[in-house]
Amino acid sequence: MKHAYVFPGQGSQFPGMGKNLYDTNEKAKELFERANEILGFRISDIMFSGTEEDLKQTKVTQPAVFLHAVIAFLCTEHGQPDMVAGHSLGEFSALVANGTLSFEEALKLVAIRANAMQKACELQPSTMAAILALDDAKVEEICAAVTAETGEVVVAANYNCPGQLVISGTVKGVEIACERMKAAGAKRALVLPVGGAFHSPLMAPAKEELKAAIETATFNTPSCPVYQNVVAKAVTNPAEIKQNLIDQLTGAVRWTQSVQAMVADGAGEFTEVGPGKVLQGLVQKIHKDAVVNGIENK
């Protein structure tokens, strides 16, 4: 039975995150202080003492979730992963875990990504919505129809688990799509409290900025495969990993399909590393026989 390590994305942050690591592990403390230097502000203070509101800013959230996950991975005892994956932002954490990126290189890319996405969010009012208990194909069909008929952008963005899909697009496009989803039988179509249309074509300006940074970064040959969001299959070629990471900003997070691919390739145990337990719940819904656990999720 193979052991997969998975890393959460934006939305799993909480006040006080990482403080236990900082207080009890000397190596973790050094990494947090190194991160403060790289970022040019004391993100550790915001993580340990900031409010939920402080942590919600994309430029803070993304590096905070990344740091909690990566430092937990680097500073706690665990087995070696046979495969890794990350949900959206979590893909950067996964790439540190399998040696593709160094801690410093990944943190710099995450900071660039967060700031670029923040700017893209400010260019046009946009949002996301969770669609529950509606077939994936039906969600995709409705999104395509709304875009074709109204010119508003709306796409399937996060395939989280069977019966839970997040759509993304302009505020008007998402609102129209939500009404149609409910009419088509969705149990819920809930607009989320996010300030932008992540994983949609509206992230194109951020994609260009991130692309420039990724193309000059050093990507090493990984120690094990990463199952990337946009292709939902094992990848080991550094050039492919780079391209998939760039495409992820405007492409869908195929989490359901990624977990299914890991299971098909022998994964039976999944360890979520970082804040929260969201991925443990999703993995269990995708593959009920999986053994799931977590590291530093409190």
CA distance 123 to 252: 21
Instruction: Enter the CATH code of domain 123-191.
Output: 3.30.70.250
CA 259 to each of CA 168, 172, 205, 211, 240: distance values in angstroms, whole numbers, following the listed order: 22, 32, 29, 26, 19
Query: What's the angle, vertex CA 35, arms to CA 252 and CA 3, rounded to 5?
Result: 50
Residue 93: both structure tokens together: 């954490």
Phi, psi of 205 (to 5 degrees): -60, -40
Phi, psi of 167 (to 5 degrees): -105, 160
- pLDDT at position 194: 81
- pLDDT at position 132: 97
CA 157 to each of CA 59, 131, 137, 143, 278: distance values in angstroms, whole numbers, following the listed order: 21, 11, 13, 11, 17
Residues 164, 139, 169, 115, CA torsion sign: positive
- pLDDT at position 57: 83
Q: CB under 8 Å to 5, separation ≥6 — which residues?
A: 73, 78, 81, 83, 84, 94, 97, 270, 271, 273
Q: Is 258 a catalytic residue?
A: no
Instruction: Specify the CATH number for 2-121+201-295; select among 3.30.360.10, 3.30.420.40, 3.40.50.11260, 3.40.366.10.
Output: 3.40.366.10
Q: Which of 3, 68, 199, 287 is catalytic?
A: 199
CA distance 32 to 67: 8
CATH 3.30.70.250 domain span(s) along the chain: 123-191
How crowded is residue 81: how many other Cβ atoms within 10 Å of its Cβ? 23
CATH 3.40.366.10 domain span(s) along the chain: 2-121+201-295
- pLDDT at position 81: 98
pLDDT tens for the 298 residues of the chain, in order: 999 999 999 888 999 999 999 999 999 999 999 999 999 999 999 999 999 989 988 889 999 999 999 999 999 999 999 999 999 999 999 999 999 999 999 999 999 999 999 999 999 889 999 999 999 999 999 999 999 999 999 999 999 999 999 999 999 999 999 999 999 999 999 999 887 899 999 999 999 999 999 999 999 999 999 999 999 999 999 999 999 999 999 999 999 999 999 999 999 999 999 999 999 999 999 999 999 999 988 7
| pTM of the entire predicted model | 0.96
Q: Which of 88, 93, 126, 258 is catalytic?
A: 88
Q: Is 88 a catalytic residue?
A: yes
Identify the H or E element spanning 44: helix 43-49
Residues 143, 148, 150, 153, CA torsion sign: positive
